[in-house]
Amino acid sequence: MKIDSTEFGSITIDGNTYSHDVLIRLSGEVAKRKKKLSKKYYGTSHIISRDEAEFIYEKGCDTLVLGSGQYGNVRLSPEAADFFEHHDCRVILLPTSDAIETYNDTKGKAKTIGLFHVTC
């Protein structure tokens, strides 16, 4: 599993381009992000809710690389941050272009999952 590149509105993983936010599971499965889990609380997908954190988290992971968008607009709510801390899951929050480099470097060294916002 390698993230090849990102540009505004898309991310390319193992040669496949996705035009939506993605979640990469421990298995390497690429799934569409469930933004509605956060939008229902905050009216935006730029704040990760506890509900979305529970969906993102996977038993056995110890690191979440979170691509916060091309301009770094996404952040964790305090409740989501507490959820990940409680589950001993380190969160690395970076603009998406930097986060893909970190994800590629971290994969294999840690039990890493990734969430990548592809727009703002």
DSSP code string of 24-69: E-TT--EEE--THHHHHHHSSSSEE-HHHHHHH--TT--EEEEE-T
Its pTM surpasses 0.75: yes
- The whole-number pLDDT of residue 40 equals 96
Q: Which amino acid is residue 21, in one-letter code?
A: D
Ordered structural domains, the chain, with CATH: 3-116 (3.40.1230.10)
- The whole-number pLDDT of residue 5 equals 97
The pLDDT tens digits of the residues spanning 36-71 come to 999 999 999 999 999 999 999 999 999 999 999 999
pLDDT at position 118 over 80: yes
- Please give the Cα distance from 119 to 22 (Å, whole number): 11
Dig out the tokens for 103 from the structure: 């994800």
Dig out the tokens for 111 from the structure: 């039990």
Helix (H) or strand (E) holding 45: none
- Please give the Cα distance from 56 to 61 (Å, whole number): 10
